[in-house]
Structure 1
Amino acid sequence: MNPQHPRTPGADGRDEPAGGPGPAAARAQDRPARLSVGVVGAGRVGPALAAALQLAGHRPVAVSGVSDASRRRAAELLPGVPVVDPDEVLARSELVLLTVPDDALPGLVAGLARTGAVRPGQLVVHTSGRFGLSVLEPALRAGALPLALHPVMTFTGTAVDVQRLAGCSFGVTAPEELRLAAQALVIEMGGEPEWIPEESRPLYHAALAIGANHLVTLVNQSMELLRTTGVQAPDRMLGPLLGAALDNALRSGDAALTGPVARGDAGTVAAHVEELRRHAPQTVPGYLAMARATADRALDHGLLKPELAEPLLDVLNDAPRDGAAGRGPDGTQGPQGGGEADGDGEAGA
């Protein structure tokens, strides 16, 4: 590609001169493999996105991966695509997907640009939620066309991920002149673009982490506690409950809040804390933090009566830490903590 006249994908993802569509666009049906696609980092995300682009008519040509798991994943999702070094991936590709962990991305981009691997007119796409376009600045200086396309999905590293991309939102940050190209690529992967300003990327990513990453922790803690009580199939017990709770929350917002905290049942909450300290002390800080956040939201939205909020917050704020005295199941002051209860700090207290 001529660095003075880079080519960019048009609204349908095809190569077009930067000045607009030309005769080649009219013959797109004669070119089913429209962009050669390379993947740097064969984790759970990259091979799935490349497979989705392949279904849309693009052509995966190279992938890099170090671990045995990465190589197996690439072989399963991108059969026949060679595994090569990152520099070679860029040498073979018009569209490069950088799908490495967030902390590794700045060094990778800088290294690829420094070695001359990035070519003018090459589409360089990262999938990090945290970063926008600034992390791609070294590639931009080398003449690349930068895009940030973050799929809002949890990935398994299997073929099911490609199916789950249907209707999946992508957090997109792109230069104005590449917005149509970004939109086209997302739609071709089955997704829906959501435009995220550069300065909002860290907050956007934090919001997703609160919702998805912490949910996994909460669900697994709940299942472990149920197993402790003798429940044989905690997943079967929780499935309908959590599904209904999620649906209600998405539909009704804070009006969906329920349970002892939202009702102001201080005695029940005190009993929870006491039992958790006895059987699973590692869960107490998280329980207290979420209970306080729930109480605040319920109070702000008129679900928790102020006269019930005070004794509830007393329980949450007086929960024992570092061997301090706590309240018993009936809300009265309990004995001094000791044994396994010692040393349980309260996150955010």
Structure 2
Amino acid sequence: MDQQRSGASQRPASRLAVGVVSAGRVGSVVGAALTRAGHRVVAASAVSDASRERAARHLPGAEILAPPDVAAAADLLLIAVPDDAIAALAASLPVRPGQLWVHTSGALGAEVLRPARDAGALTVALAPAMTFTGRDEDLQRLEGISWAVTGEAEARFVGEALALEMGGEPEHVDEADRARYHAALVYAANHVTTLVNDAADQLRAIGVANPERLMSPLVSASLDNALRHGDAALTGPVSRGDAGTVARHLEALAGTGIAETYRVLARRTAERALESGRLKSSDAEGLLEVLARSTEEDR
């Protein structure tokens, strides 16, 4: 494997002319990361004012062109458009045999680029395990992250080499597993944002002036503990089987819009606590009754 990866890395090491379709939050930053790795972004597509501003900031040497012209100018075509648009785009752009086509979707594998592969391109799915907000720190956050790599053997090795060049760690994900892989990341990252903002709304509603400051140490410690210690990091009333407290929580949250979410997550937390031995079956009985009762009442 090391010899194969070393051999594959020779292709990116030749310094490629990169085309970016399009210069959105992801494409502009990954294009900048490729520039930092020594490649040269020669062209990008950018329709909106925000995309043009990102291209000017992150891809200053790139000529703004229509997508077919970007593809024609590139040795490495970076496709960073919404997932549902990739297939149609891949079928519409010109292909030069020997080109490298890369898309950044976490949910899709390399198969969506089959029209380019059938026309002689190397195709690889190369998705950064990172969230992009459009802020300046996005580029710095790429250092050391994982990149999900999917493709046939030669293309996959080239994708791994690109990830390493950008300061990341390649993680091979099979074509059939991309949706599950992406679902796991969305479940963790996107839902954390929703949960934190929902909690901030509840605190704000009872008069807490700066809920973000109040929650920051607690939420940061909880995330750190979860990543370090797994289920051993579970604390709180559910892991203790404290049914009375959970019942009071559900009563207080009734009518807020998040009571059902709280109930579902409490049930899932109880399941994990039971499976890991953090919660005894005898202590869980009352808790599970409260959670089941709230479900019946909601009906």
**What's the TM-score bracket when you normalise by the shorter of the two chains?**
over 0.9
Question: Counterpart in 1 of 2:4?
Answer: none
Number of residues paired by the alignment? 293
- Alpha-carbon distance in structure 1 between the residues aligned to 2:121 and 2:293: 57
Q: 1:179 aligns with which of 146, 156, 163?
A: 156
For 1:16-65, what per-residue CA distance to the aligned partner results, in whole angstroms no more than 9, with x for missing partners?
xxxxxxxxxxxx6xxxxx11111102211011011111111111011112
Contact 2:37 2:165 in 1 (8 A): yes
- Alpha-carbon distance in structure 1 between the residues aligned to 2:239 and 2:49: 48
Question: Counterpart in 1 of 2:46?
Answer: 65
Identity %: 55
For 1:231-270, what per-residue CA distance to the aligned partner results, in whole angstroms no more than 9, with x for missing partners?
1111111111111111111111111111111111111111
For 1:54-94, what per-residue CA distance to the aligned partner results, in whole angstroms no more than 9, with x for missing partners?
11111101111222211211112112422211001001110
Question: Counterpart in 2 of 1:120?
Answer: 97
Q: Pick which of 254-263 and 74-83 moved more.
A: 74-83
Structure 1 residue 83 corresponds to structure 2 residue 64:
yes
Deviation at 1:104, TM superposition (A): 1.3
- Alpha-carbon distance in structure 1 between the residues aligned to 2:233 and 2:49: 45
- Alpha-carbon distance in structure 2 between the residues aligned to 1:121 and 1:80: 24
Structure 1 residue 99 corresponds to structure 2 residue 50:
no
Deviation at 1:319, TM superposition (A): 0.8
Q: 1:109 aligns with which of 90, 93, 96?
A: 90
Q: CA RMSD in A?
A: 1.6
Question: Counterpart in 2 of 1:224?
Answer: 201
Question: Counterpart in 2 of 1:328?
Answer: none
- Alpha-carbon distance in structure 2 between the residues aligned to 1:304 and 1:14: 51
Q: 2:290 aligns with which of 288, 296, 315?
A: 315
Letter of the 1:189 counterpart: M
Structure 1 residue 256 corresponds to structure 2 residue 233:
yes
Contact 2:110 2:150 in 1 (8 A): yes
Contact 2:96 2:120 in 1 (8 A): yes
Structure 1 residue 291 corresponds to structure 2 residue 263:
no
Contact 1:56 1:189 in 2 (8 A): yes
| 3-state secondary structure, aligned to 1:294 | helix
Contact 1:38 1:90 in 2 (8 A): yes
- Alpha-carbon distance in structure 1 between the residues aligned to 2:23 and 2:293: 48
Letter of the 2:47 counterpart: V
Letter of the 1:209 counterpart: V
Deviation at 1:180, TM superposition (A): 3.0
Question: Counterpart in 1 of 2:3?
Answer: none
| 3-state secondary structure, aligned to 1:61 | strand
**TM-score, normalisation: structure 2:** 0.94
Q: Which runs of 5+ in 1 are unaligned?
A: 1-8, 16-27, 29-33, 325-343
| 3-state secondary structure, aligned to 1:303 | coil
Which structure has the larger Rg? 1
- Alpha-carbon distance in structure 1 between the residues aligned to 2:155 and 2:100: 10
Letter of the 2:277 counterpart: G
Question: Counterpart in 2 of 1:336?
Answer: none
Question: Counterpart in 2 of 1:49?
Answer: 30
- Alpha-carbon distance in structure 2 between the residues aligned to 1:198 and 1:14: 23
Structure 1 residue 36 corresponds to structure 2 residue 17:
yes
For 1:98-128, what per-residue CA distance to the aligned partner results, in whole angstroms no more than 9, with x for missing partners?
001111111211222xxxx111111000011
Q: Pick which of 304-313 and 121-130 moved more.
A: 304-313
**Structure 1 runs of 4+ with >6 Å offset:** none
Question: Counterpart in 2 of 1:74?
Answer: 55
Contact 2:29 2:139 in 1 (8 A): yes
Deviation at 1:179, TM superposition (A): 3.3
Contact 1:171 1:195 in 2 (8 A): yes
For 1:193-229, what per-residue CA distance to the aligned partner results, in whole angstroms no more than 9, with x for missing partners?
0111111111111111111111110011111111112
Deviation at 1:13, TM superposition (A): 4.0
1 or 2, which has the higher helix percentage?
Answer: 2
